[in-house]
Amino acid sequence: MSATEGRQGHGPTNVRAYKSIQLWMDVVNRMYHLSEEEWRGRLHVVQEFCKFEGKDPDEIIAEARGDRAEKIDYMRRLKRFVKTLTANPTVAHDYENIIRSFFINNGARVVTKPYSDVYNRTQ
């Protein structure tokens, strides 16, 4: 099956078939060795983001790498997207980070920030 054959509606069903996903998983696993369970959760978020965008992972990366304004727009929409998944700001931040990691490891440079409560912690 080709990567694009699995699309349902506006999003792909088998995101693992895409080059950008394979590169992401390969680079991250080389350093951090994430479990299969964790990858399943991450890939689900990417899949939902693709559905939200109406594009496949490779298309998203090609656009984000090709045009700075496009990449910034993606990051703006990412903030809206995660709010459709959760109302919890910490969980939303974690979901954003999954997409940011996907972008970063595919060569699309994005700004990263810590949790917003990082300055108010007591430990």
Query: Residue 94 in contact with residue 85, Cβ under 8 Å?
Result: no
To the nearest 10 degrees (0 to 180), the angle between helices 36-53 and 57-66 is 70
Q: Of the listed pieces 6-14, 32-40, 56-64, 76-84, which binds another protein according to CB under 8 A? A: 32-40
Q: Which spans in 33-56 are helix H?
A: 36-53
Work out whether 35 is an interface residue with another protein (CB under 8 A): no
Grouping H, G, I as helix, E, B as strand and the rest as coil, residue 11 is strand
Interface map 61-90 toward another protein (x if CB under 8 A): -----------------------------x
Q: Are 60 and 74 in contact (CB under 8 A)?
A: yes
The structure tokens 């899949």 sit at 47
Which CB atom, from 56 or from 96, has the smaller least distance to another protein? 96
CB-wise, 1 or 31, nearer to another protein?
31
**Which of 19, 34, 68, 72 forms a contact with another protein (CB under 8 A)?**
34
The site for another protein (CB under 8 A) is made up of 28, 31-34, 90, 93-94, 97-98, 100-101, 104, 111-115, 118-119, 121-123
